[in-house]
Structure 1
Amino acid sequence: MNHNTNEEKTENPTEHRIKKFRKKGKTRYSRELNSLLILLVGFISLWWHKDFILSYFMKIMFNSFSFNRNIIINNDSVLLEIFIFFKAMLFIFFPFLMALLFIIIIPPILLSGIALNFKSLEFNFTKLNPFHGLKRIFSFEIIIEFFKIALKLFIVISISFWYLYYSFSEILALIHENFISSLFHGFNIIVNCCFFIILGLVPVVVFDVILQQIKYFKKLKMTYQEIKDEFREKEGNPSIKSRIRQEMKAIIRRRMISDIPKADVIITNPIHYSIALQYDEKKMNAPKVIAKGIGEMAIRIQKLALKHDISMISAPSLARSLYRYSEIGQYIPGPLYKAVAEVLAWVWKVRKWKKKGGIFPEKPKNIIVPSELTVIGEHKNND
């Protein structure tokens, strides 16, 4: 099928298209937003646990500067002290690391519905093509990413230099304070610097979030032809479905014709409708429709009935109701039991007449069909 590749994507995406994008790992996820959340959570975690971190850090420093002759003599003691030091550092920063791990994993899933995409792990020779790599390097998206990185670096360096220059006299004054006071004072200077850096990065993050939203919805947009192709893929090709229906009807028709010799009676209209009924009182709970047809099929059913000496009776209202409200291979509707019973009673009388002779049984007249199942009008052709 030839598609117009220049056709503009003006149609809103379907649910199927959105789910397909998510399966491929294409989402509106903003890495800059996640980076900002990591910095923000790290900053809040450090500020929240600052007293605990600083007090434990001072304890480590006091222990480290105390002289112990056994540590120098015994090599095992040196390794033990190093192990204790790293264990203490891990203990200090454990809440901080857990908070960072949480913010790295959870927000991307909640904010953009990221799913695991194993297709990207598949080996593909086209990825090894250097020309494709060069094309990606000089693409518009890479230029935008480079611009964002350069802008973030400029903001971080500018704010850091500005704040350190502003606090330079305060930093120099730390040497005149005692150890504990200078440690807490220096920590506050670092925290304040981090806070201003995070504030400076907010505009970059807002710009990236808006950009990712625009790119995501632009990729999701569909052409009219793509919507038609998706509908065809989802629902099936109409021509193929029509052909399948025709084949199924042909199969049902062949099976129906082969079952007509089993019928006990053919109810007609007298020409346009023909319904073949079968009833075995030992095996069936009610009469069953084994064939039905209108137009040419109705005439064919009647010819087969004559060929196999099957009784036929004209009952227009009953024939129309049976055709409309019953299915081949199914029992007749309950409200029609009484009307069909009159017909079957006549059929059994005919069978008895064929064996014993005598006067031919009179056909039932004025067969009453319930008003809710009455069908007005006649069809000229099969469905």
Structure 2
Amino acid sequence: MSGGSSQQKTEAPSPRRLREARKKGQVPRSRDLSAAIILLFALAMIAFLKDSMVISMQRLLLEYYRAAPTLDLPAENLLFYALGFTARMCLVIMPVLAGIVAIAVAASVVQVGVLFAPQVLQPKLERLNPVEGLKRIFSLRSLFELVKNTLKIIIVAAVVYFVVKARLPEMLLIYFKTPAQMLDLIAAALLAAAFAGGGAFLVISFFDLLFQRYEYIKNLRMTRQEVKDELKQTEGDPLVKSWLRRRQREMIMNAIRREVPRATVVVTNPIHVAVAVRYEEKEMSAPVVTAKGAGDLVPVIKRLARQNDVPVVENPPVARALYQVDVGREIPVELYRAIAEIIAMVYRLKGKVV
């Protein structure tokens, strides 16, 4: 039972797993949301610029129509003439096209941030496998997408239907309008229906985005064993780390047992840190820190010092400063005076004892 449960993906994906998935281009993204935003932005641009675009197109058409009777072109130049006309037409709608490209990029960045995943472009042989292709086509995922898209079409179509139905009485009066008024009425009706459908599409796409994120996290879930294996890879095997900590503590304790009995004095905080200092006037140019400890090592150092008749001096500022010095190094110059006074006091006490 425990072995089976350990293989169930019940753990949330780790940051490392999420980073690796992102590098592969696997991100929670709703194509419907991007499409809805692009559609609504394009409609807004058209509604805002339609008058100026229509006027520009009218001027362009009039220019070509007026020039047509007097135009004498060889047959081989007609293609270039048509291409020039098409290019000028594209310039008229260029603001809308540029806006659509910009909003498409922005919609993608808002969902997944700036992402460059070259691995997505690498060819994968499994994509050419017809068996795998059939599995994807006849999978539960494909069935779900089919149902989702069908519901999406039904909801959007229903919204558009009700908008058009509300405008139907106004549309019946189209026969009493001038051609310009007819075009304005049809354009307004089409835009209203398109905005309504796009708005419904946008609302649906938000739910699709939430679902895509849920599916993304669900598919990246990990088993407990995978979490343990990843922890070993990223932070090392806990058993090895525990052994290293024990080994380091043993080395520190051995150094303390060896050096504290030989120290000249032990300076303490008194309960936070303890530092053993050794000074031999004829052998050393300056006192040397031979051992130090903090926390539960402080009583050990103090007990060893007392057992070996090494004086213990409480001086919190000096103890803190000495604790910053590496074991085996001479004390810094700025501590000479303080340590000299402590050692002088120790020598006087030893002289009294003797």
Unpaired runs of at least 5, structure 2: 267-273, 302-307
Amino acid at match of 1:317: V
The answer on whether the counterparts of 2:264 and 2:279 sit within 8 Å (CA) in structure 1 is no
Output aligned runs, 1:2-21, within 5 Å.
4-7=5-8, 9=10, 11=11, 15-21=15-21
* Residue of structure 2 equivalent to 1:329: 328
1:290-333 CA deviation, whole Å, 9 max, x = no partner? Answer: 46899xxx9xxxxxxxxxxxxxx8324259x9999655223459
Higher relative contact order (CA 8 A, sep 6+): 2
Q: 1:184, 1:143 → 2: CA distance? A: 42
Output aligned runs, 1:227-242, within 5 Å.
227-242=227-242
TM-superposed deviation, 1:196: 3.2
* Residue of structure 2 equivalent to 1:373: none
* Residue of structure 1 equivalent to 2:133: 133
Are positions 1:364 and 2:354 aligned together?
no
Counterparts in 2 of 1:280 and 1:110: CA distance versus 1, 3 Å: farther
Are positions 1:315 and 2:310 aligned together?
yes
Secondary structure of 2:71's counterpart equals helix
Q: 1:3, 1:231 → 2: CA distance? A: 21
* Residue of structure 2 equivalent to 1:308: none
Percentage identity across paired residues of the two chains: 24
The answer on whether the counterparts of 1:54 and 1:183 sit within 8 Å (CA) in structure 2 is no
Output aligned runs, 1:82-161, within 5 Å.
82-113=82-113, 115-154=115-154
* Residue of structure 1 equivalent to 2:191: 191
Amino acid at match of 2:111: L
The answer on whether the counterparts of 1:278 and 1:290 sit within 8 Å (CA) in structure 2 is no
Aligned residue pair count? 325
Structure number with bigger Rg: 1
Output aligned runs, 1:202-221, within 5 Å.
202-219=202-219, 221=221
Identify the range of structure 1 (23-32 vs 100-109) with the bigger mean alpha-carbon deviation. 23-32
Amino acid at match of 2:329: Q
* Residue of structure 2 equivalent to 1:277: 278
Q: 2:135, 2:73 → 1: CA distance? A: 62
The answer on whether the counterparts of 1:148 and 1:204 sit within 8 Å (CA) in structure 2 is no
Q: 1:130, 1:165 → 2: CA distance? A: 49
Counterparts in 2 of 1:229 and 1:174: CA distance versus 1, 3 Å: farther
TM-superposed deviation, 1:38: 0.7
Secondary structure of 2:328's counterpart equals coil
The answer on whether the counterparts of 1:22 and 1:113 sit within 8 Å (CA) in structure 2 is no
TM-superposed deviation, 1:40: 0.3
Amino acid at match of 1:339: I
TM-superposed deviation, 1:109: 1.4
TM-superposed deviation, 1:33: 1.0
TM-superposed deviation, 1:148: 3.0
* Residue of structure 2 equivalent to 1:339: 342
Counterparts in 2 of 1:84 and 1:53: CA distance versus 1, 3 Å: same
The structure richer in helix per residue is: 2
Q: 1:226, 1:107 → 2: CA distance? A: 34
Q: 1:194, 1:174 → 2: CA distance? A: 23
1:97-119 CA deviation, whole Å, 9 max, x = no partner? Answer: 11111111112212333522223
Secondary structure of 2:27's counterpart equals coil
The answer on whether the counterparts of 1:279 and 1:288 sit within 8 Å (CA) in structure 2 is no
Q: 2:16, 2:292 → 1: CA distance? A: 41
* Residue of structure 2 equivalent to 1:57: 57
TM-superposed deviation, 1:85: 1.6
With normalisation by structure 1, the TM-score equals 0.64
Amino acid at match of 2:50: K
Amino acid at match of 1:364: G
Amino acid at match of 2:187: F
Amino acid at match of 1:40: L
Counterparts in 2 of 1:232 and 1:365: CA distance versus 1, 3 Å: farther
Counterparts in 2 of 1:130 and 1:80: CA distance versus 1, 3 Å: closer
With normalisation by structure 2, the TM-score equals 0.68
